[in-house]
Amino acid sequence: MVLNGTLKEFILADVFNLLTQQRITGRLDLESGRREALIVFKEGAIVGGEDGDDSLTGKLFNYLIDIKRKTPEQLSPIFNAHTGDLSALSAALIERNLLTASELKGFAGSFVEDICCSLLTWNEGTYKFNSVGSVSAIACGVVTISAENIIMEGMRRVDEWARMRDYITEDMVFAQAPNSAGSEIPPSEIDIATAPEEYIFGLLDGSRTVKSIKKSCCLCEYKVYESINFLLQAQRITAMQQHYSESIKAALARKEAEVASVLRATFLNSLAAAAVAAVFVAFFVFFRIFLLPKLDAGTYDRDVVEQRRLKETSESDAVRGASLLYKAVIGGQGDDPKELKKAGFLTDRDLYGRADIYGRISAR
């Protein structure tokens, strides 16, 4: 089954109800401007979802680092080995005792609920549903939420979400209040399902914006804002003054620019090294193919000329010596090499020479 349309004509809650009634399995892709999202259905129930960079895979990674105190070196091989298969990743995390099945179910269920409720606030964009045989690669396999519950919770959050955004913006910086006691719960014992504000409280140190916190923490955007709102009402945190916030934002921007500059410099250095290596290889090939044969030929020619010169010199010396000896012994003129050979004063070696160093006969 293929279903598509615009959210102005058909609101997302109605799409949920339709897919639930049909008990369909597949993926619902949403798009609004530059934002893209996904909701996964299995037999009419919601079993997965993500909104842009907010994915269950990324939030699980952050959860294991922030709450379970695992290291990236421990986690990266496992996550890389199961890229694109969320069910297999979930099974591997449980098998290696990195988290329990109940922890995974609670965390994943809260994440999917937050994502779907936030998507219900979309009032423009497009949707497209495609039926698929299996959704194991895009769902963790332990979450099942009825669309009706999502719609009810989403409607409850709409007004609160708009109200919180009126006085909490992503550029704001918060710090723990001077008279506020720190969290008495160790990070490894924080239950983010029941007390997410304790987790967020530990991240509000006066040096990070709301935007940077929601990007790097293990909670979705709504839970971050909800936790900050709760801490403000309890007077446990305070907003930094505007000029301090601007300074912090500028510092964060400089840091990001420095990181980008280092990456660009590393790339350019690598590119320059590759170019130098390419030039060297090209020169070597050119030298080997075009220049070296000519040098060898020139060397060979000089050797041949020198060999012939020496041979001719030795031949003329041998003939003159044999001619003088012929005159002294026999008398008369003895200038003919053949006659000198016949008389025994010259040999074949004197007349024909030897093979040169390349095996070519140098006798004329």
Q: Tell me the pLDDT tens digit for each residue of 104-160.
A: 999 999 999 999 999 999 989 999 999 998 999 999 999 999 999 999 999 999 889
Q: How confident is the model over 89-117, as pLDDT tens digits?
A: 999 999 999 999 999 999 999 999 999 99
CA distance to 98, 188, 203, per residue, from 69 (Å): 10, 7, 15
Q: Which of 5-19, 40-54, 84-98, 344-358 has the lowest mean pLDDT?
A: 344-358
Query: Which segments of the chain are extended strands (E)?
Result: 2-6, 26-32, 35-42, 45-51, 126-131, 173-176, 205-209, 237-239
- Reported pTM: 0.65
For residues 112 and 51, give the distance between their C-alpha atoms in angstroms, rounded to a whole number. Answer: 10
Phi, psi of 316 (to 5 degrees): -65, -40
Tell me the domain boundaries of the chain. Answer: 2-158, 173-240, 246-352
Q: 124: which residues sit within 8 A by CB, 6+ positions away?
A: 6, 7, 8, 32
For residues 184 and 221, give the distance between their C-alpha atoms in angstroms, rounded to a whole number. Answer: 25
Q: 64: which residues sit within 8 A by CB, 6+ positions away?
A: 70, 75, 93, 98, 99
Task: State the sign of the Cα–Cα–Cα–Cα dihedral 272, 277, 278, 284.
Answer: positive
- The answer to whether 349 and 355 have CB atoms below 8 angstroms apart is no
DSSP string, 177-227: -TTPPPPSS-GGG--TTT-HHHHHHHH-EEEEEHHHHHHHSSS-HHHHHHH
On the question of pLDDT at 358 being above 70, the answer is no
For residues 311 and 350, give the distance between their C-alpha atoms in angstroms, rounded to a whole number. Answer: 9
Q: 99: which residues sit within 8 A by CB, 6+ positions away?
A: 63, 64, 68, 93, 107
- The answer to whether 20 and 45 have CB atoms below 8 angstroms apart is yes
